Amino acid sequence: MQSFRTELENPIVERDIIELERKIQLFREGKIDEEKFRSLRLARGIYGQRQQGVQMVRIKLPYGKVSTEQLERICQVSDEYSRGNLHITTRQDIQIHYVSLDRTPELWAELEKDDITLREACGNTVRNVTASSMAGIDPAEPFDVSPYAQAAFEYFLRNPVCQEMGRKVKIAFSSSESDTAYTFMHDLGFIPKIKLIDGKEVRGFRVMLAGGLGSQPYLAELAYEFLPVNQVIPFAEAVLRVFDRYGERTKRHKARMKYLLQDLGLEGFMKLVEEERISIKNKVYEIDGTVANEIVPPAVINLPDFEILDWVKYEKWLTTNVYKQKQVGYFAVGLKIANGDIKTPVARKLIDIIKELATDEIRLTISQGMILKYVPAQHLPYLFYKLDLLGLAEIGFESTADITSCPGTDTCNLGISNSTDITKELEKVIYEEYPEFIYTNDVSIKISGCINSCGQHAMAAIGFHGSSLKKDKLVLPALQVLIGGGVLGDGLGSVADKVIKVPSKRGPDVLRYLLNDYQENREQGEYFLSYYQRKGKIYFYDLLNPLADLSKVTEDDFIDWGQTAPYVQAIGVGECAGVAIDLVATLLLDSDEKVAKAQEAFEKADYSDSIYYSYTSFINTAKALLTSEGVKTNTQSCIVKDFDVNFINQGKLKLSVGFEELVYQINKNEPEADFAAYYLDQARGFTALIKEYRESVLVQ
């Protein structure tokens, strides 16, 4: 494993990978706490899998953009370290499964040769920044949001503000008011706007705040009607600082930004955001909005002889999978990827097709598909022909027949019932029995293997999540049916209602009941969401209730989709939210590491980062002492207050000022050299003081 150390050009990345290798070794030797190690590997995109002894590795691809060279590199890595399958996620990442933990540093080093990272793809960090897959070519977009999504990705990668938050944070950029990136379900969502100011067109965003799905979905609230583009990064950084300080850390189910917003109220939350403005690194952050417009379209080539055997399918494909770009004469082509899974031999052949017939920029979609861009009109018939040979010309891209699903019980620890095989069954029902729905995306269908909504079931017109039911003393796999979710546009959305739970094997009949009823009883031109709202939840409960009758279960109902043996509910411990680290020694070690990083940042004149590392050192050190004396902590702000109450006010420790006054100088000072030096010195002294106190207590 020595080769990657000399081949990588980026010393920061090289250090990251070497640190991962070192921590894996320490973990194997029993010298590092398991919970601490888990937190570290999650922040490097390495996630525990349902199968023991192997890992899922999540590859972070900002807004789903990937070149053919990068895709080839990912294929090589999957073949070498995994099983030759690429799984596209609803956050525009690629996951590979069944990877040995010991080989992950080497795998990461291979990816970085083509500027691909694993960093912060999992854990309590800013996850992959997503964006509309049509960004840059969308005829309805005010401007291309891709450069702004890229800037957000780069700014927060390795940023000390968001390395160890209470939970993950998700950011999305939509290309237009149609909100195809679903900003309403994100912690930070941005919708592009153009505003006329002093006779000039100014770019900005409508900003949505603190949305989320999970077990308790919450629609994002409007933070700004119009925020100039040069304020996007400063605002986001201030929001992350507030979440880091005041967000819940002990109760994982309450540790998302949406709960903090509910507790504080929008006005209270925004007041704290404004108070952070003085301490952030950049008060204004300019972003070059022209960078993403430098794409070179492919040259029109002389096509070889070929024969399309199914012209009817070709015409359907043109209708459902091909979109006019805002660039005249060019088209985007959607590829429907079943369950988001594509084998490496197929991906490699696709790479050859793209190099010949499209531009070298693939976009992965949040519906687990792919978008090819800048296809000249003359190339479309031949492109269809080539894709059809690969099985990638399936009609119905992003239609009702294009169902989103997470891996479920195939690989995920939290999966309760199968989501991939039921997806295939439901798509089969649509293609064979309801072909008219291949041409519409009005009725979206999404499936998750558990309640956590990785498959985004809570925002689907018809959603399902894995569950279970009891019949006498036996357990059978089940699906919770949700209805009525969807995108309303411009940052607004509708969350699906939980309607009824049915045995999993009756999922296809649920779909038949709903589509039949919709076709028979809707009014002229009425969309499904309007139809659901008009009829109401009780109506649909009554409609589906016969399918929930357990008096008529058969032996087949006790066998999940894709299985042959009777169902056994087996749920592991999830890692999506990261872990809480409460061991005193580990916290003090963390404090030392943060002080060292603060010193390093200071020497590079990166004073804002230095200050934040010092701040985190204060928090970890105080938490260590509180933990050692049995005081429970759940937020950083509580740690600060409780330390004063339990140690300073009782005279156990003496500081020149109260601990709260000392620590909260962070948001009362500009991030300049003098303050950074002072704050670092205070953090270093505080850590030494607490260690001395801790040792004196242990001696007693």
Q: Is the pLDDT of residue 291 over 80?
A: no
Q: Is the pLDDT of residue 582 over 60?
A: no
pLDDT digit string, tens, across residues 213-234: 888 899 999 999 999 999 999 9
Domains 130-291 and 415-558 share a fold: yes
Q: Mean pLDDT throughout 112-124? A: 92
| Distance separating alpha carbons of residues 358 and 350, to the nearest angstrom | 11
109-123, 404-418, 560-574, 633-647: least confidently modelled range: 560-574
Note the pLDDT of residue 269.
98
| Distance separating alpha carbons of residues 226 and 35, to the nearest angstrom | 42
Note the pLDDT of residue 473.
84
Q: Mean pLDDT throughout 599-616? A: 96
Question: CATH code for 584-699?
Answer: 1.20.120.330
Q: Is the pLDDT of residue 48 over 70?
A: yes
Give the count of beta carbons closer than 10 Å to the beta carbon of residue 548: 17
Comparing 448 with 564, the larger pLDDT belongs to 448
Note the pLDDT of residue 293.
61
Judge contact between 510 and 481, C-beta under 8 A.
yes
Domain 130-291 has CATH 3.30.413.10: yes
pLDDT digit string, tens, across residues 447-498: 998 888 788 999 999 999 989 999 888 899 999 999 999 999 999 999 999 9
Number of helical H runs and strand E runs in the chain: 20, 22
Q: Please report how the helices 146-156 and 232-246 are oriented relative to each other, as an axis angle in degrees rounded to 10.
A: 40
Note the pLDDT of residue 698.
63
Note the pLDDT of residue 585.
75
Judge contact between 548 and 500, C-beta under 8 A.
yes
The gap between the terminal CA atoms of the chain, to the nearest Å, is 47
Pick the CATH number of 3-112 from 2.40.50.100, 3.30.460.80, 3.90.480.20, 3.30.1600.10: 3.90.480.20
| Distance separating alpha carbons of residues 118 and 17, to the nearest angstrom | 10
pLDDT digit string, tens, across residues 163-193: 889 899 999 999 999 999 999 999 999 999 9
DSSP-assigned states of every residue in 297-341:
PPPP-PPPP---S-HHHHHHHHHHHEEE-SSTTEEEEEE--GGGE
Q: Is the pLDDT of residue 580 over 50?
A: no
Pick the CATH number of 307-390 from 3.90.480.20, 3.40.50.1100, 2.30.42.10, 3.40.50.720: 3.90.480.20
pLDDT tier at 363, thresholds 50, 70, 90: very high
Q: Mean pLDDT throughout 81-94? A: 95
Q: Is the pLDDT of residue 6 over 50?
A: no
Note the pLDDT of residue 583.
59
Q: Is the pLDDT of residue 373 over 90?
A: yes
Q: Is the pLDDT of residue 446 over 80?
A: yes
pLDDT digit string, tens, across residues 311-329: 999 999 999 999 999 999 9
Note the pLDDT of residue 107.
93
Comparing 651 with 697, the larger pLDDT belongs to 651
pTM for this predicted structure? 0.93
| Distance separating alpha carbons of residues 241 and 272, to the nearest angstrom | 9
Comparing 432 with 24, the larger pLDDT belongs to 432
- Would you list the domain boundaries of the chain? 3-112, 130-291, 307-390, 415-558, 584-699
Comparing 432 with 406, the larger pLDDT belongs to 432
DSSP E strands in 119-242: the ranges are 130-131, 171-173, 188-197, 200-209, 221-228
Q: Return the percentage of the chain with pLDDT > 70, whole number.
A: 95
Tally of residues, the chain? 700
Note the pLDDT of residue 415.
67
| Distance separating alpha carbons of residues 346 and 359, to the nearest angstrom | 19
Note the pLDDT of residue 2.
44
pLDDT tier at 699, thresholds 50, 70, 90: low
| Distance separating alpha carbons of residues 130 and 92, to the nearest angstrom | 7
Note the pLDDT of residue 261.
97
| Distance separating alpha carbons of residues 531 and 615, to the nearest angstrom | 53
Average pLDDT, the chain: 91
Superfamily of domain 415-558: Sulfite Reductase Hemoprotein, domain 1 (3.30.413.10)
Q: Is the pLDDT of residue 335 over 70?
A: yes
pLDDT tier at 251, thresholds 50, 70, 90: confident
Give the count of beta carbons closer than 10 Å to the beta carbon of residue 537: 15
